[in-house]
Amino acid sequence: MSWCEIPRPLVVIVGPTAVGKTEISIQVAERLDAEIVSADSRLFYRGMDIGTAKPSSEERQRVIHHLIDVAEPDEVWSLALYQREAARIIEEIHQRGKLPLLVGGTGQYVRAIIEGWEIPPQAPDHRLRETLERWAKEIGAEELHRKLRLLDPAAAQAIDPRNIRRIIRALEVILGTGKRFSEQRRRGKVPYSLLIVGLKRPRTELYKRIDERIEKMIHEGLVEEVKALLAKGYSPELPPLTAIGYHEIIRYLRGEITLDEAITLMKRRTRDFVRRQATWFREDDPRIHWLEVNEGTVNEILVLVEDKTAWQIYSEERGSALQFQGTEKKG
């Protein structure tokens, strides 16, 4: 059975930071003549390459990648905008007769696509937002995150305590509607057949890879990359520059911490981020085929692609994906 026989196919590859999604997805895409649609919010921004472990120009020449380098660091890419653009690109890939691979570790971006989230059209309340921004400056990001945790524990668990913009947006929606932010994204119809693959490694191995990746970032010039962004006039308070790696290097450049301290904080925050990612991609999720990363992982994915029982098949009659068609889930 070929994936070409699957109606509106979408292969999804998820997993934590540093697990190896980039190289594995490229190899799978090469074997299937597929195109990759990024679901990593850190990769949107031009000039932020080293600190985001963005696929290199050589890797992007091997396989077509979408939704990378689509904005400047001072532009805001909302979840709703991402969902709309990803859907448009997936449709274009289908029209070309190719297979789209949705790849990434940003949980809410992946799930907005695979669960057909209906994102509420909550208009920004600029007066409330300004009040919250002033409050954030007074009490700090971590205390603001604690306030969110009291109002909406589920939303707080999914949001980085240092991501002031997302914390403020969640509080804005909660205070403006009287409803929890985490409850306002309803599942809608999913217009794809889905094959969802999760990549995993033993935790000690994953942490070792994280540490090595961060050391490599420093060696390859992360400090110089951050200096260049600041020299262009980008504010250190911009959400992309508060991300892991950039925030710590900015503190180092300001003389607040040493470079060694910055590296230690980067490693610690990345491990915390991996734990938050696990709340989005759970190993007990029956939709996900979890694979331990090894030399045979690419072939295992190719076998799943050709196995119709591994897919959640799209039904035109229902306008959504059905659960697994086989008697037992593979993987």
Strands 193-200 and 100-104 turn out to be unpaired
CB 250 within 8 A of CB 236: yes
Helix (H, G, I), strand (E, B) or coil at 168: helix
134/168 Cα distance (integer angstroms): 11
Task: Determine the pLDDT at residue 317.
Answer: 67
**317 DSSP 8-state letter:** T
Tell me which CATH code domain 126-183 carries: 1.10.20.140
Task: Determine the pLDDT at residue 122.
Answer: 60
- Tokens matching residue 35: 């195109």
Record: fold of 3-118+188-213+281-324: Rossmann fold (3.40.50)
215/244 Cα distance (integer angstroms): 14
Task: Determine the pLDDT at residue 330.
Answer: 42
331/329 Cα distance (integer angstroms): 7
Residue of 183, 176, 146, 179 whose CA lies nearest to 161: 146
Instruction: Give bridge partners of residue 12 from the DSSP assignment.
Output: 102, 196
Helix (H, G, I), strand (E, B) or coil at 272: helix
Task: Determine the pLDDT at residue 123.
Answer: 63
| 185 φ/ψ sector (left φ>0, alpha ψ -120 to 50, else beta) | beta
CB 182 within 8 A of CB 152: yes
59/187 Cα distance (integer angstroms): 34
Tens of each residue's pLDDT in the chain, 331 residues: 688 899 999 999 999 999 999 999 999 999 999 999 999 999 999 999 999 999 999 999 999 999 999 999 999 888 889 999 999 999 999 999 999 999 998 998 999 999 998 876 666 677 888 888 888 888 888 889 999 999 999 888 878 787 787 888 888 888 877 878 777 666 778 899 999 999 999 999 999 999 999 999 999 999 999 999 999 999 998 989 999 999 999 999 999 999 999 999 999 999 999 998 888 899 999 999 999 999 999 999 999 999 999 999 987 766 677 754 443 444 4
| Domains in the chain: boundaries | 3-118+188-213+281-324, 126-183
Sign of the Cα torsion 156, 162, 163, 169 reads positive
231/305 Cα distance (integer angstroms): 46
Task: Determine the pLDDT at residue 176.
Answer: 79
Task: Determine the pLDDT at residue 94.
Answer: 97
CB 220 within 8 A of CB 36: no
Q: Residue positions in the annotated binding site for ATP?
A: 15-22
Q: Residue positions in the annotated binding site?
A: 15-22
Helix (H, G, I), strand (E, B) or coil at 114: helix
Helices of type H across the chain: 21-32, 57-62, 79-95, 107-114, 126-139, 141-151, 153-158, 164-177, 203-220, 222-231, 246-253, 259-280, 297-305
DSSP of 170-239: HHHHHHHHSS-GGGS-B-----SEEEEEEEE--HHHHHHHHHHHHHHHHHHTHHHHHHHHHHTT--TTSG
Global pTM reads 0.83
Task: Determine the pLDDT at residue 327.
Answer: 35
Buried b (16+ CB within 10 A) or exposed e, 154-188: ebbebbbbbbbbbbbbbbbbbeeeeeebbebbeee
Q: Residue positions in the annotated binding site for substrate?
A: 17-22
Task: Determine the pLDDT at residue 329.
Answer: 43
Task: Determine the pLDDT at residue 77.
Answer: 85
How many residues does this entry show for the chain? Answer: 331
Tokens 């007769």 locate to 97
304/288 Cα distance (integer angstroms): 11
**19 DSSP 8-state letter:** S
Between the CA atoms of 38, 44, 47 and 53, what dihedral angle is there, to the nearest 10 degrees? -40
